């Protein structure tokens, strides 16, 4: 019997994502001037206010208030009528020095013996149902909101959009886990106030269906386009009005959208957030490493679907273990435990080795903080950072290194396929 599966996404203007983006902008700026910075930054945003808190060990000094303001303005909160804008909001910093009790478990005489920055378990997942090896419902949810943000910035075809929005996609799957059709799409978008609520809602519904969705479909592969149909149930701004939004409508906190950040409920999640943490925190680095493993395993043809788990103890260099689940889709004559053993031989999962393999001590994190950390495009960009003393640094930064399919040949060789 077929079944339905749903995933959601939230936009860069969602209050929790505003918080994530500020925290990751701080990470990038610290790493740009001191690659050895140890940072754990949390952000709270609410009506007219930003609160920064956390622990830092770094040799650089930053104007954290200005970084927060610049991030907010870039997202699009630039008008006083939003009751939250980058130029006028209050920014309070309670960032202090990192505890020596934590740092002593991480730093070692040699970098290779660097201990894990925290305990816990991390998961990576990949499936061949999309070209980027991501679950389809989440991938479509992200695409809808990225396109909506493009329309907002163009301010031509749709001129009333505000930064906060959410999407949700429900996919019907066959018994053998193949997407059959799109069952439902939910889009809630913040908007300017209209003179008449009935007219407003009708226009928003029409614009989403006739402008946004066709633009999304046009950028999809033909096989995914075929899943769209005239019977899709649309729920567009189902409450009827969404003028009050962003941090004025809902307080935002770093790390509250961890399922949006990963796989939309597919696979598993260890519970640790990513944003605001430097790569010594395995919550972040090992989650990227397990995604890298899972994606390369599926791309190499080991299985159609793979979940990878790794776990650590704080201050201990070697992981507690690696677990693999292929959900019965393995294409090799090996048990999941035997696959895990081979994976342990191919991938060095010590924290420093992960940092080196994925180039994680570079200022690559602002781009991860909205529209998902996984399934993104690996590319190199040029970024410029500034200090309060006027010093600038311009760097070429490789983004989303964990999305590279650079281990498929090694995997095929190890598995003799």
List the binding residues for ATP.
14, 164-166, 241-242, 250, 256-257, 273, 277
Binding residues for L-methionine: 55, 98, 250, 281
Two tokens at 135?
Answer: 């679950």
CA-nearest of 260, 365, 281, 286 to 16 is 260
The number of residues making up the chain comes to 417
Task: Produce one character per residue of 267-298: b if its CB has 16 or more CB atoms within 10 Å, e if not.
Answer: bbbbebbbbbbbbbbbbbbbbbbbbbbbbbbb
In Å, how far are 67, 273, 391 from 388, measured between CA atoms? Answer: 11, 29, 7
Binding residues: 14, 16, 42, 55, 98, 164-166, 241-242, 250, 256-257, 273, 277, 281
Residues contacting residue 141 through CB under 8 Å, at least 6 positions apart: 7, 8, 9, 167, 168, 169, 264
- CA–CA distance, 165 with 243 (Å, rounded to integer): 11
Binding residues for Mg(2+): 16
What is the sign, positive or negative, of the torsion defined by CA atoms of 59, 275, 318, 134? negative
- CA–CA distance, 262 with 289 (Å, rounded to integer): 13
Q: Give me the residues paired with residue 170 across strands.
A: 6, 184
CA-nearest of 236, 238, 237, 232 to 217 is 232
Spatial contact of 254 and 54, defined as CB atoms under 8 Å apart: no
Residues contacting residue 413 through CB under 8 Å, at least 6 positions apart: none
Binding residues for K(+): 42
SS3 57: strand
């Amino acid at each position: 019997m077929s079944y339905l599966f749903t995933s959601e996404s939230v936009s860069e203007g969602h209050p929790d994502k505003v918080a994530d983006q500020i925290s990751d902008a701080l990470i990038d700026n610290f790493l740009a001037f001191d690659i050895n910075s140890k940072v754990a930054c949390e952000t709270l945003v609410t009506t007219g206010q930003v609160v920064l808190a956390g622990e830092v060990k770094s040799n650089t000094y930053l104007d954290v208030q200005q970084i927060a303001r610049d991030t907010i303005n870039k997202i699009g909160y630039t008008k006083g009528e939003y009751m939250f804008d980058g130029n006028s909001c209050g920014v309070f910093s309670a960032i202090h020095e990192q505890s020596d009790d934590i740092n002593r478990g991480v730093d070692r005489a040699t970098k290779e013996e660097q201990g894990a920055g925290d305990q816990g378990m991390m998961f990576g997942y990949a499936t061949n149902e999309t070209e980027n090896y991501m679950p389809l419902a989440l991938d479509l949810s992200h695409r809808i909101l990225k396109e909506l943000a493009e329309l907002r910035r163009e301010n031509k075809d749709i001129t009333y959009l505000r930064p906060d929005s959410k999407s949700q996609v429900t996919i019907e799957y066959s018994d053998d886990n193949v997407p059959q059709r799109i069952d439902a799409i939910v889009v809630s978008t913040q908007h300017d106030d209209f003179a008449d609520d009935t007219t407003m809602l009708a226009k928003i519904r029409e614009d989403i269906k006739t402008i946004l969705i066709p633009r999304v479909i046009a950028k999809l592969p033909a096989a995914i386009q075929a899943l769209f149909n005239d019977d899709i149930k649309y729920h567009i701004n189902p409450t009827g009005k969404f003028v009050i939004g962003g941090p004025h409508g809902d307080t935002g906190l770093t790390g509250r959208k961890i399922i949006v950040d990963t796989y939309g409920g597919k696979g598993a999640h260890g519970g640790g957030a990513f944003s605001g943490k430097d790569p010594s925190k395995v919550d972040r680095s090992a989650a990227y490493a397990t995604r890298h493993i899972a994606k390369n395993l599926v791309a190499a043809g080991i299985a159609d679907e793979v979940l990878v788990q790794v776990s650590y103890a704080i201050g201990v260099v070697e992981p507690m273990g690696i677990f693999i689940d292929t959900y019965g889709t393995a294409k090799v004559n090996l048990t999941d435990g035997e696959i895990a053993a081979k994976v342990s031989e191919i991938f060095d999962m010590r924290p420093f080795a992960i940092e080196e393999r994925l180039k994680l001590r570079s200022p690559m994190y602002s781009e991860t903080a909205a529209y998902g950390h996984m399934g993104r495009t690996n590319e190199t960009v040029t970024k410029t950072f500034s200090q309060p003393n006027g010093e600038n640094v311009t760097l070429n930064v490789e983004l989303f290194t964990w999305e590279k399919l650079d281990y498929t040949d090694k995997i095929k060789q190890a598995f003799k396929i």
